[in-house]
Amino acid sequence: MDFNFDFQFNKPVIGVDEVGRGSWAGPVMAGAALLNHKFPIDKRLNDSKKLTSKIRMEIFKNLTENHIFGIGEVSNFEIDKIGILNATFKAMEKALCNLMSQIKDFDKSIILIDGTIEPKFNKKIKSQIKLVKKGDTLSPSIAAASIFAKCIRDDFMEKIDKKFHGYGFSTNMGYGTKNHKKKLFLSGPTQLHRMTFRPMKNLRD
pLDDT at 82: 98
- pLDDT grade, residue 96 (50/70/90)? very high
Q: Go through the chain and tell me how many residues it has.
A: 205
| pLDDT of 204 higher than 90 | no
Segments forming the whole domain that contains residue 93: 5-204
Domain containing residue 61: CATH number: 3.30.420.10
One-letter amino acid of 181: K
Above pLDDT 70, what percent of the chain? 99
What is the total count of domains within the chain?
Answer: 1
Prediction pTM value: 0.95
Average pLDDT of the residues in 83-98: 97
Average pLDDT of the residues in 74-96: 98
- pLDDT grade, residue 157 (50/70/90)? very high
* Alpha-helix runs per DSSP H in 4-128: 53-66, 76-82, 84-100
Contacts 24+ apart (CB under 8 A), 167-176: 167/25, 169/25, 169/26, 173/20, 173/23, 173/26, 174/20, 174/23, 174/24, 174/25, 174/26, 175/22, 175/23, 175/24, 176/24
Cα gap 205→200, rounded to integer Å:
9
pLDDT at 197: 97
Average pLDDT of the residues in 41-56: 92
Model confidence pLDDT, tens digit, residues 125-143: 889 999 999 999 999 999 9
| pLDDT of 205 higher than 70 | no
Contacts 24+ apart (CB under 8 A), 169-173: 169/25, 169/26, 173/20, 173/23, 173/26
Cα gap 38→35, rounded to integer Å:
9
